[in-house]
Structures are given as C-alpha cells and as structure tokens.
Amino acid sequence: MSRLSDKLAQQQFVMTAEIAPPKGFDVGAALAKAELLRDMDAINVTDNQGACMRMSPLALSRVLIDQGFEPILQITCRDRNRMALQSDLLGAAALGVENLLLLTGDHPKFGDHKSSRPVFDLDSVQLIKAVDGLTQGVDMAGNSLCSTPQFFSGAAVAPAAEPQLLVLKKFQKKIACGTQFFQSQAVFQRSQLESFMAEAERLKVPVILGVLLLKNIRMANFLNRNIPGVQVPLDLLQRLEEANDPLQEGVQIACEMVALAREFCQGVHLMTFGHENLIPQILAD
C-alpha cells in the first residue's frame, strides 16, 4: 500500500504538488524542484501536460522513487491506444509505481506538436475501468495476466463546472469503474465547493482539492477564457488587478483555498507553476 493511500484510508489530510518532466533527458532540474516538495505526501508527474512533448513521466517517476519520493503517475489517453496504455501500466507496476491519476488529456491542437494525430482510443472512464481490470488479473481483451499489479487509482473532477448534476454523474461513474481518490481542478468559490462536497462526501471517496496559484490578472483571465470548469470570480479578479504585488495577492488567495480544503476535503493539491518556493507560505496556518 502506498503512503498516500494509507494516509487517506486513515482520514489524514494529505498534501500533493506536481512537476513536469524535462524537455530533454537531464532530470537535474526536475529533481531540484522535487526537493522543494520534499514535505509533500506525493508528487504528481505530468504526462505531456498541455499537449507539449516532454520526457516520459514513467521514467521520471522511477527516478523520484530512487530519491525517496512517492510519485503519482499521470497517464492520459491522448497519445496511446489501449495496448500501449496497458503496457505502460504493467511497466509502471514493475518499476514500483503505485499511485495513478488517469486523465483523458488535452488535444494536440493546444500543444507544441499541432500536426500530431490524437489517439483517444479510450477516455478517462474507460481507462479507469481498464486499470481496475488489470488489478483483477485480466487485460481489456479478457486475457489473464501472469502477475497482478496493485494500483491506487485517482481521477480528476471539476467541482466548479456546470451543470453540477452532470459533474456528479460522471463522478459517480468513475467511482463505479474503480476510482479510489480524486484530485480536483481549481475552485475559487466557497459556495461551489460546499455544494459539490455536500453530495460527493456521501460516496466516501477522498477528494483532494486543487489549489492553483494565480500569479497575476492575465493568468486569471486566461483561465476564465480557456479552461473549462475553472472560473475565477469577479472579486478575486479585482483583488489581483488592484494589488501592489499581484503574486503575493495570489499567495493569499491560495491560502484561503487551502483553508477551504481543510474544511471540506481530504487534502490539497498545489499547482504553483515554478513558484514551489512559495508553498510554505501557502500552507502556513
């Protein structure tokens, strides 16, 4: 059992953050960033985040294990068919990776290889179901495995997305297919999180709240225009626009979101985009 799954099973509040693999094969900078996250319970390793090509997250996950970190391997459906996805999952098990975050993934048109052909043989729900099958010793074609992997499978949820009824239906579907924990997209309003968690907590699957560091008003406006299910409200936009130090105002907003996570959720997932040095401030009580 992974440390993350053990802490969540004991209903302890967990803290995670994320790093991206390098645009190359030198992992030095990634490891330096990971050192700033040494106190986290686990570190997400992104999978060609934003549809931009980087080193394999599976390789970096193994390097992190060797350095004493616990990774959460992100796996997207964008780049591989079901055979390749299952092969990578079995490889992850062989390398000691237990925590997974299973995602559909961004379309290549948003990334740095716009002529790349998207695969999307599976969606995130089907991938969750495939992982559940592997943990029962069977592949997607119904063939028995010679050894059975054990994973702690996570999925994404967007508590601020509308309509909430559809969000909750997909949330329930992911649980039925084998999801054991959720990491959420960023939420910036108490009412949205409170409403979602009032329904979600009845299903007894841990939700780790995504907390995103807003660096400035431009970033907030970009999120509102381009990221479905994420909405920075007007009062926070005004705070960022009027602040003498927008980054520090973003830190204060993130602190407020962490407080909401402690009230309603089972953990917090920090997305600081190169400002990992600010995490101690964000987590300060």
pTM over the 0.75 mark? yes
CA distance 121 to 204: 30
With 0-12 / 13-18 / 19 or more C-beta atoms within 10 angstroms meaning exposed / middle / buried, residue 255 is: middle
285 band by pLDDT with thresholds 50, 70 and 90 = low
Q: What is the DSSP letter of 274?
A: T
Q: Which residue has the higher pLDDT, 226 or 102?
A: 102
CA distance 220 to 247: 12
Helix (H, G, I), strand (E, B) or coil at 266: coil
- Residue pointed to by tokens 């927008």: 246
Q: What is the DSSP letter of 144?
A: B
274 pLDDT more than 90:
no
Q: Residue 1: what pLDDT?
A: 73
Which residues make Cβ contacts (< 8 Å) with residue 128, sequence separation at least 6? 102, 153, 155, 174, 177, 178, 179
Helix (H, G, I), strand (E, B) or coil at 35: helix
131 band by pLDDT with thresholds 50, 70 and 90 = very high
For residues 161 and 133, the answer to whether their CB atoms sit within 8 Å is no
* Residue 149, φ and ψ in degrees, nearest 5: -75, 160
Report the chain's C-alpha Rg in angstroms.
18
Peptide bond into 159 cis (omega under 30): no
CA distance 205 to 179: 8
Q: What is the pLDDT of residues 195-233, one digit of tens each?
A: 999 999 999 999 999 999 999 999 999 999 988 889 999
Domains, the chain, ordered by start? 3-157 (3.20.20.220)
Q: What is the pLDDT of residues 29-48, one digit of tens each?
A: 999 999 999 999 999 999 99
Q: What is the mean pLDDT of the chain?
A: 96
Give the torsion sign (CA, 128, 170, 3, 70): positive
